[in-house]
Structure 1
Amino acid sequence: MSAIKSYSKTYRIMHWAIAVSFTLLLVTILLRLTWMNKNHMADIIGVYLTDAGTSLPQDDLIVLAKKIRHPMWQWHTYIGYVLVGLFAIRFMLPIFGEMKFQNPFNKLLSVKEKFQFWVYIVFYVCVTASLITGLIIELGPKTLRKQVEDWHKLSIYYLVAYMVIHLTSILIAELTKEKGLVSRIISGSNKN
Structure 2
Amino acid sequence: MTSQLHFPKLHRLIHWLLAFSILFILLTIVLRSTWMEKTHIATILQSGLQSDNVVISQQQAITIAKSIRNEMFQWHYIVGYFVGVLVLFRMYYSKKVGVFMPNPFKKNSLHDRLQGLLYIAFYLFLASIVITGLVIHFLGHDFILYSQCKTFHKLSWWGIVGFMLIHIGGVMFANGRGNKDTITKMING
* TM-score, with length taken from structure 2: 0.90
The Cα offsets for residues 82-113 of structure 1, whole Å up to 9 and x where unpaired, read as 01111111111133124355420211x11111
- Aligned structure 1 segments of 4 or more residues deviating by more than 3 angstroms: 1-5, 98-102, 144-147
Q: Distance in 2 between matches of 1:159 and 1:4?
A: 24
Cα gap change, 1:159 to 1:4, in 2 (>3 Å): closer
* Aligned 8 A contact 2:45 2:61 in 1: yes
1:154 Cα deviation from its structure 2 partner: 2.1
**2:115 counterpart letter in structure 1:** Q
Q: Distance in 1 between matches of 2:60 and 2:152?
A: 28
* Aligned 8 A contact 1:173 1:181 in 2: yes
The Cα offsets for residues 137-183 of structure 1, whole Å up to 9 and x where unpaired, read as 12236324444122212233122222211111111111113111111
Is 1:186 aligned to residue 187 of structure 2? yes
Aligned length: 187
Is 1:113 aligned to residue 136 of structure 2? no
* Aligned 8 A contact 2:125 2:157 in 1: no
Which runs of no fewer than 5 residues in structure 2 stay unpaired?
Answer: none
Could you tell me the percent identity over the aligned residues?
A: 33
1:18 Cα deviation from its structure 2 partner: 0.7
Task: Return 96-105 or 176-185, whichever deviates more.
Answer: 96-105
SS of the residue corresponding to residue 143 of structure 2 reads helix
Which runs of no fewer than 5 residues in structure 1 stay unpaired?
Answer: none
1:121 Cα deviation from its structure 2 partner: 0.9
Q: CA RMSD in A?
A: 1.9
Is 1:165 aligned to residue 136 of structure 2? no
Q: Distance in 2 between matches of 1:156 and 1:128?
A: 11
* TM-score, with length taken from structure 1: 0.89
**2:118 counterpart letter in structure 1:** V
